[in-house]
Structure 1
Amino acid sequence: MRINADFTKRVAVHFDEVDWVASPAAGVERKMLDRIGDEVARATTIVRFAPGSAFAAHTHDGGEEYLVLDGVFQDETGDFPVGSYVRNPPTSSHTPSAADGATILVKLHQFDPQDRTEVRRSINGDGELQLFNDAREDVRIQNWMAGEVVELDAPHGLEVFVVNGGFTENGEEFRTWDWLRLPPGTRSQALAGEAGVRVWTKSGHLGDMI
């Protein structure tokens, strides 16, 4: 399976315009943003867990990072409510579930194979945050003020996911839970909406994909 797999192309996915697709686990549905592979895949996905649903225990050979968008996501290490950002490094394993339901943004098989850094933190609050940084990538929460023009320089690629609020880029409007991927070498601008916007960004990681 290949979805938005050409990393030389700009890609925009609007949450309300993409259908939910059933996963192999009962009660778990997905909106696929990009994907290379079948059930074991390099993937960026919005995943919705119905109350009481779960995935079987599995190992993330290529690592996993996720941001909880709604509800409470759970595994053997604890409960992760809305606003939780988690990195599970390569070779980690767990049994994910959601007793009361949850929706997450998740990225799979995209870590440096030698990365063993675990991250467990909350993005809740008003401040900007650096969630993770190494020689390969930088992950942040940013706040763009109403009407602010933000330079989107992406020498090694950039992803922008709207946590809440909205912005416009290249004449296209992005709202809550929309996703934009800019290829390496892009120089663009974003204009924050009237209420401003809070975004999750990931940069520096796409250069090895082209």
Structure 2
Amino acid sequence: MHPIKPEHRSVANIANGVFQPFLTDEGEPDGEVLQVNGGKTGYGFHVYRMAPGATTKAHTHVGAEEFYVIDGDLTDHDGYEYRPGDIVCLASGTTHNSSTRNGCTLVVHLPGAEGF
């Protein structure tokens, strides 16, 4: 086994990483993303952050959305509340939007595009 080449490893820290705006297909800001995989912002594995009082735009998942709530609160449009420590899977084809009263940070995996 050989050491991992620097160009094959990307590392960011949530505490001091540079979050980028997550933009909908229409170019509207919808939260912030910390991502290290070099792919399209908000796809694959990333950290997603919502400001207090924020609400996401309604969207439909092409693949399953999986996320872990690190901190804060998150409520789906149907009133279901997620709390720190929750691990969630929303099935492919799910349409929803979410809001937060106090802000939140999530670790997210999205296998493909979302339809806004």
Task: Output the TM-score relative to the length of structure 2.
Answer: 0.73
Equivalent AA in structure 2 for residue 87 of structure 1 = C
Identify the structure with bigger relative contact order (alpha carbons < 8 Å, sequence gap 6+): 2
Shift of 1:10: 3.9
Map of 2:21 onto structure 1: 22
Residue correspondence of structure 1 range 52-201 to structure 2 within 5 A? 52-77=53-78, 78-109=80-111
Q: How far, CA to CA, are the matches of 1:100 and 1:12 in structure 2? A: 28
Q: Give the alignment's TM-score, normalised by structure 1.
A: 0.43
Would you say how many aligned residue pairs link Structure 1 and Structure 2?
101
Specify the alignment match of 1:46 in structure 2: 47
Cα deviation, residue 57, structure 1: 0.5
Q: Tell me, yes or no, if the aligned pair for 1:70 and 1:104 is still in contact at 8 Å.
A: yes
In the alignment, which residue of structure 2 is the partner of 1:36? 39
Structure 1: stretches of 5+ with no match in the other structure: 1-8, 111-210
- Alpha-carbon distance between aligned partners in 1 of 2:32 and 2:101, rounded to the nearest angstrom: 15
Deviation of 1:27 (Å): 6.9
What CA deviation, in whole Å up to 9, does each residue of 1:106-143 have, x standing for no partner? Answer: 11016xxxxxxxxxxxxxxxxxxxxxxxxxxxxxxxxx
CA change 1:35–1:95 in 2 (3 A) is farther
Query: Over alpha carbons, which structure has the higher Rg?
Result: 1
Distance in 2 (CA, whole Å) between partners of 1:43 and 1:109 is 5
> Which consecutive unaligned segments of at least 5 residues does structure 2 have?
1-7
Compute the displacement of 1:99 (Å): 1.8
% identical aligned pairs: 25
Q: Which has the higher strand share?
A: 1
